[in-house]
């Protein structure tokens, strides 16, 4: 995988890492013993809130989130160990709101570029032991800092409201929610690093045989994270998860400079849930075979015409094209395109498709879902959301930032530790009420090719990731990054090709969906946006689209290595010696 963040102004990104499972599913809510951290945080927030109530203006809401993470990483490349370590850190996020539920310091400052952009950042490193005084001191200092920043921001909000036009969405800045109390048992992490050093060595050794494959790595990462959340309105929550992920990554390079990535990934709640060596090595062999074919595959020029997406590709496609555009805060911000804001109760998809977001769903289609959780990062209990029912838009994903017609959270306020939560996706599930078989879907594609008098159609089999732009001042478009793409000819023949990205605009492409198959493919990954990186899942059937557009993929201008790989030369010499 090319694990590089694609950063753009107001782009909502879900980059190549989106296809890498990074978090196992949240544990079901279970009773446990409260850590001393929760009691200390409760004590300090009560003290600070009482003291700041003496100030003018006083805060009306304060929350603390403390995240403690243990991460074990073992990585090898071409049969040699790269890293083997364990990291332990603890950070806190402090939220202070000044004003009231109707209008507070988080309100959008309109017409001023970048104003308030840093207001959501409050990350402070706190002690990893449970020393009460040290932890309280860190929270006290950060609370004081955030209160002063909130005063400055609130003054800017009040001034801005006096000099700007009337706001389109007059809903409150913060919602009233039921306080929650829940204590989950703190999970444990068990990693035999010596065993995984041997395994990752074994998984990457086969790449030695090929001098035209580079950056071949296998990484085992185990993450155990406990989060504590307390707020001045009475919420006190302790949640804890452990997950394990195995990522196999390799790259080749075509003669024209195009880099060709291939990934395989696995995730589980326990080490025993990961696949055995035979399964992983079979996947490695498939990666090698794909890369060798891709190096010589023909390039597709810019094209419009019919296309078919696999279930995995559909899942990424809907995550980018649809999911980001129904996140609630985007319907309120006047810098956003608000594609679907006025379409509640109207058809946005074919009547045979429905879309659910369900963070309480732990598994789907036999696969663990990494976008699962029991409470969101604002202390609101997770719940299923029916976004589209029989093609008709019904709901948005909501945090505690209300919008017109949707005054409350539905448990989708999410953030990376240290950032302010906003409405984000969880587990996206596309439900198809009129499935056809995979073979029938291909025949429908061929019929479209002939009807449109096209020389071929396209089949998108595997996807690297993608990103989407949702703001008003830039094209309201998406770009999905395929890895394995095939030309489908009128006679049914399939040919692997390379060099294209799937692009377009949402309303146009949704109007072109004709049919869907019975597949239930799942992708798990990490999605990046303004509240940081959060784990997400999506599942979908294969779909047929009557018209899509592809553009040329960006490529490097550097030639492949001039020098032969040392291990390739060694293998040739060994083969020659063995033949004598």
Spatial CB neighbours of 194, under 8 Å, sequence gap ≥ 6: none
Residue 529, pLDDT above cutoff 60: yes
Q: What is the distance between the alpha carbons of residues 207 and 198, in angstroms, rounded to a whole number?
A: 16
CA–CA–CA angle 272, 274, 280 (5° rounding):
130
Phi-psi region of 10 (alpha: psi -120 to 50; beta: other; left: phi over 0): alpha
- Residue pair 249/207 in contact (Cβ under 8 Å)? The answer is no
Q: In this predicted structure, what is the pLDDT of residue 571?
A: 54
What's the pLDDT band for 524 if we cut at 50, 70, 90? confident
Residue 24, pLDDT above cutoff 90: no
Count of Cβ atoms closer than 10 Å to residue 364 Cβ: 19
Q: How far lies 442's CA from each of 229, 314, 460, 492, in Å? A: 50, 15, 12, 8
Q: Is the dihedral of CA 506, 512, 515, 521 positive or negative?
A: negative
* CA dihedral of residues 205, 210, 214, 217 (deg, nearest 10): -20
| Strands annotated E in 369-477 | 385-389, 392-393, 413-414, 422-423, 427-432, 457-469
What's the pLDDT band for 198 if we cut at 50, 70, 90? very high
pLDDT digits (tens, 9 = 90+) for 337-347: 788 899 999 99
- Residue pair 374/26 in contact (Cβ under 8 Å)? The answer is yes
pLDDT digits (tens, 9 = 90+) for 226-284: 999 999 999 999 999 888 889 999 999 888 888 899 988 887 778 887 899 999 999 99
pLDDT digits (tens, 9 = 90+) for 60-69: 999 999 999 9
Q: What is the distance between the alpha carbons of residues 171 and 405, in angstroms, rounded to a whole number?
A: 9
pLDDT digits (tens, 9 = 90+) for 397-432: 999 999 999 999 999 999 988 788 999 999 999 999
| Domain definitions of the chain by residue range | 24-197+204-212+223-245
- Residue pair 397/410 in contact (Cβ under 8 Å)? The answer is yes
Q: In this predicted structure, what is the pLDDT of residue 54?
A: 97
pLDDT digits (tens, 9 = 90+) for 365-377: 888 888 999 999 9
Using a pLDDT cut of 90, give the percent of the chain over it.
63
Tally helices (H) and strands (E) across the chain: 9, 25
- Of 62, 179, 166, 171, nearest to 401 by C-alpha is 171
Beta strand pairing call for 478-488 and 457-469: antiparallel
- Of 5, 34, 36, nearest to 18 by C-alpha is 5
What's the pLDDT band for 118 if we cut at 50, 70, 90? very low
- Residue pair 538/358 in contact (Cβ under 8 Å)? The answer is no
Mean pLDDT of 49-54: 98
Q: In this predicted structure, what is the pLDDT of residue 10?
A: 33
Which of 131-145, 318-332, 347-361, 440-454 has the weakest average pLDDT?
318-332
Spatial CB neighbours of 388, under 8 Å, sequence gap ≥ 6: 348, 349, 353, 354, 355, 394
Q: Which two tokens stand for residue 329?
A: 């805060």
Residue 578, pLDDT above cutoff 60: no
Whether the predicted model's global pTM rises above the 0.85 cut = yes
Residue 188, pLDDT above cutoff 80: yes
Beta strand pairing call for 259-268 and 413-414: unpaired
């Amino acid at each position: 995988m090319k694990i590089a963040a694609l950063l753009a102004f107001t782009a909502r990104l879900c980059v190549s890492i989106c296809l890498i499972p990074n978090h196992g599913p949240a544990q079901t809510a279970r009773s446990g013993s409260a850590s001393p951290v929760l009691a200390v945080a409760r004590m300090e927030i009560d003290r600070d809130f009482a003291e700041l109530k003496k100030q003018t203006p006083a805060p009306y809401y304060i929350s603390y989130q403390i995240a403690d993470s243990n991460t074990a990483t073992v990585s090898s490349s071409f049969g040699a160990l790269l890293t083997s370590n364990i990291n332990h850190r603890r950070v806190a996020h402090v939220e202070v709101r000044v004003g009231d539920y109707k209008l507070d310091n988080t309100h959008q400052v309109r017409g001023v570029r970048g104003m308030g952009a840093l207001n959501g950042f409050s990350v402070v490193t706190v002690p990893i032991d449970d020393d009460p005084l040290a932890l309280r001191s860190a929270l006290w200092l950060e609370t004081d800092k955030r209160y002063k920043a909130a005063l400055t921001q609130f003054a800017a909000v009040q001034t801005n409201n006096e000099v700007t036009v009337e706001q389109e969405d007059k809903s409150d800045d913060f919602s009233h929610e039921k306080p929650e109390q829940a204590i989950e048992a703190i999970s444990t992490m068990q990693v035999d690093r010596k065993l995984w050093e041997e395994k990752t060595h074994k998984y990457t050794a086969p790449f030695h045989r090929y001098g035209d494959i580079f950056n071949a790595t296998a990484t085992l990462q185990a993450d155990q994270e406990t989060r504590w959340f307390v707020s001045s309105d009475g919420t006190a929550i302790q949640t804890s998860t452990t997950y394990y992920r195995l990522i196999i990554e390799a790259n080749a390079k075509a003669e024209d400079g195009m880099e060709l990535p291939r990934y395989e990934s696995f995730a589980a709640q326990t080490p025993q849930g990961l696949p055995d060596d035979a399964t992983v090595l079979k996947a490695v062999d498939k990666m090698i075979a794909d890369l060798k074919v891709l190096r010589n595959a023909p390039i597709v020029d810019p094209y419009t015409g019919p296309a078919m997406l696999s279930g995995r590709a559909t899942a990424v496609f809907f995550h980018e094209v649809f999911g980001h555009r129904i996140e609630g805060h985007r319907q309120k911000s006047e810098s956003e395109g608000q594609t679907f804001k006025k379409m509640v109760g109207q058809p946005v998809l074919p009547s045979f498709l429905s879309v659910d977001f369900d963070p309480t769903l732990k598994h789907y289609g036999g696969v663990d879902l990494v976008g699962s959780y029991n409470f969101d990062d604002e202390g609101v209990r997770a719940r299923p959301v029916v976004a589209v029912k029989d093609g008709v838009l019904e709901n948005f994903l909501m945090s505690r930032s209300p919008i017109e017609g949707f005054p409350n959270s539905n448990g989708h306020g999410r953030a990376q530790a240290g950032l302010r939560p906003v409405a984000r996706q969880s587990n996206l599930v596309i439900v198809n009420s009129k499935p056809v078989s995979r073979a029938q879907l291909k025949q429908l594609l061929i019929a479209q090719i002939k009807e449109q008098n096209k020389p071929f159609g396209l089949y998108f089999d595997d996807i690297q990731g993608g990103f989407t732009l949702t703001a008003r001042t830039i094209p309201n478009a998406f770009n999905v990054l395929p890895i394995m793409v095939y030309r489908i000819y009128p006679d049914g023949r399939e040919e692997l090709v390379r060099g294209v990205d799937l692009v377009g605009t949402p309303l146009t492409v949704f109007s072109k969906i004709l049919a869907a198959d019975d597949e239930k493919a799942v992708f798990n990954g990490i999605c990046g946006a303004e509240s940081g990186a959060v784990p997400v899942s999506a599942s979908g059937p294969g779909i047929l689209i009557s018209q899509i557009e592809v553009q040329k993929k960006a490529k490097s201008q550097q030639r492949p290595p001039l020098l032969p790989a040392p291990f390739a030369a060694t293998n040739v010499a060994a083969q020659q010696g063995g033949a004598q």
